Amino acid sequence: MSITTRVWIAGAGGRLGSALCRRFDRNTGFRLLASDLDVRVEDSFQVGHFADLNHPDVIINCAGLTDVRACERQPEEAYKVNAIGARNLAVAARRIDAKLIQLSTDDVFDGAASSALCEFDDAHPATMYGKSKYAGEKLVRELTDKHVIVRSSWLYGAGADDFVDQVLQAAARGETVRLPEDEISSPTSADALAGFIEYLVGAREYGLYHASCEGACSRAEFAREILRLSGFADSVVEPAAADETLRPRFTLLDNMMMRITGIYHMPDWREALGMYLSERNAGGLA
């Protein structure tokens, strides 16, 4: 008799949640349980009720307030969604003995480093977004043993208006795109990250993992590659100061735990971007 793994994706309407839903939907080994604003992670009653009703084996927390400027304007809302939401899911996971996969961000680092940051480097968030996500990490660690925290960077993908959409829309309107040359990390496809998360669902892996696409670039270089692959002139990208974006200057993640354990390998960021744009243009991400 086959055993089906019940996977609850909280925040299923976002870019990563959408990528995971597409992936799990076509795999008969999983029973997909998806929620978005119908189950608000910051509401402990709603989270507990959904967990008790459906009893998932694995909970993937993709929910979050990710708009950096909104987090600065509304710090309590940022902590409510990004920290309390993580707490509520951790409590529910522990009660029903589910594995929790908590999604986090490179913004837990302040941008002052000059070399790639691994899982053993101390986090020092500088933005309210980074602080609230790091608070969520700490609550997950404290409240449930069966957890994996996955940090990624510059995530893009179908399901929500993202950086790729913004760059292409600006280019189509003939507008200049102003982006920093000195803000460095690694663009990560939601589809590429979803592949690693699918691996984690069935693996006996716990703890903290960095999971960004390989390689590094600036925001401006990322935009130029998007435009080049989409047939636009990259000359529409002009330099801007990093502090205009409210994002940390240097948050390049080193996937050290993934590498030294030998469990998985993320693709190069250019390769992943090319695959995403090809599928996007072919209408395969609708």
Query: 15 near 159, Cβ under 8 Å?
Result: yes
Among the listed residues 103, 94, 15, 104, the one whose alpha carbon sits nearest the alpha carbon of residue 47: 94
Catalytic residue of the set 79, 129, 156, 209: 129
Q: What are phi and psi of 51, to 5 degrees?
A: -65, -45
Of all helices (H) and strands (E), which one includes residue 179?
strand 177-180
- Tell me, yes or no, if 129 is annotated catalytic: yes
| DSSP-assigned beta bridge partners for residue 209 | 150
Among the listed residues 235, 240, 244, 241, the one whose alpha carbon sits nearest the alpha carbon of residue 174: 235
DSSP H helices in the chain: 15-25, 44-54, 68-73, 75-79, 85-96, 128-143, 163-172, 190-202, 219-229, 256-261, 269-281
Q: Which residues are catalytic?
A: 129
